[in-house]
Structure 1
């Protein structure tokens, strides 16, 4: 007798993010996202921290969807830019979700700067029935490259080389990226927590 896989709803409409999480979770859960629930309203990310935004999304979506809802808010923190773009990573170039413009602005702002240390940070929140159940975080240290390298990944991946690598996340491929990424590390914590709950 087979039991149905538990369902995990990801509070996003970002197909790249859903695919990454689905790949990392494997076959332990049926992973759906907000696009599977056409009646859900868009959640405005008005927080000033990754935790605030992840909480807003998880709570709002879990009020309209049964079971566990996972949200994440993540972004790139560049030390020479005082932690920017941070929570505004997806709109850094002036247009929400325009990766090319975001990368162009980052290259422009980092021109001539020798200090290139940076990190991707991710905060994940689990919620059920409008209540936060737990939160988790992950980060990966690295540096900003002078120019985009590679065709894979999304967002700032072509400009970010993780510590210990000369290649960008866009060149390393999803398997390597997921094994060390900020999202992968946060999700490992989520999975360990969920397994501990039985």
Structure 2
């Protein structure tokens, strides 16, 4: 049965990110498929303003900008945390809550303060992926992992909001997970499995 998704048949892919850690993670994931991965930062591509209203919108915006500027297929992700008691915030503004210095201790304290005494501690991590080609074609995928928030923060692994997020079925925060353990179940892992199955694995 033929996949309804466009297959990736090129040799080279731009990761629409200036985050070196993210580029390394994606490069390792795509290594089995023999893809030569280069980052937007390596190519000196500018970072577009994220004006979308959803994670998917922003991932598509970043992927399309990199594909058009480089003439190569490009992969972008947009991710963040949503909190039920905050009507889905910080959501697409997750990184911005950390301020210009990207201090997530500040962002975590802001979440705690805004939640106050609300007993609803449910939250989720969301990762949207967009794979764009220079001809305008785009494939999108989204991974979500549900959980709840706990304060004070615990654990020094991971990054961002990991020290306050406890995934369903566990009692530890992502900050207390070993990296490989987190990568196996995270929102990004869920989205990447969809991407690989749809666009990279042979039918």
TM-score (norm 1): 0.88
Instruction: Kindly indicate whether residue 76 of structure 2 is the aligned counterpart of residue 71 of structure 1.
Output: yes
Q: Distance in 2 between matches of 1:168 and 1:26?
A: 29
Determine the structure 1 residue equivalent to 2:3.
none
Q: Report the aligned-residue RMSD.
A: 2.0
Give the unaligned 5+ runs of structure 1. none
Deviation string 1:21-68 (CA, Å, 9 cap, x unpaired) is: 334444433333212112x12211011111111111000000122432
Partner residue, 1:170 = 175
Question: Which aligned pairs between 1:112-151 and structure 2 lie closer than 5 A?
Answer: 112-129=117-134, 131-151=136-156
1:94-126 CA-to-partner distances (Å, cap 9, x unmatched) read: 436332221121122233222111100111111
Q: Gaps spanning 5+ residues in structure 2: where?
A: 1-9
Structure 1 position 102 matched with structure 2 position 125: no
Q: Moved runs in structure 1, 4+ residues, more than 4 A?
A: none
In 2, distance between residues paired with 1:67 and 1:188?
A: 22
1:18 corresponds to: 23
CA contact (8 A) 2:60 2:138 kept: no
Once the two structures are TM-superposed, the CA of residue 134 in structure 1 deviates from its matched residue by 0.8
Pairwise CA distance, 1:19: 3.1
Q: Distance in 2 between matches of 1:126 and 1:54?
A: 9
Distance 1:197 1:128, change over 3 A: farther
SS of the counterpart of 2:88?
coil
Q: How far apart, in 2, do the equivalents of 1:99 and 1:23 lie?
A: 26
Equivalents in 2 of 1:152, 1:130: separation in Å? Answer: 40
Instruction: Say how many residue pairs are matched.
Output: 193
Matched residue, 2:7: none
User: Structure 1 residue 87 and structure 2 residue 79: aligned?
Assistant: no
CA contact (8 A) 1:125 1:133 kept: yes
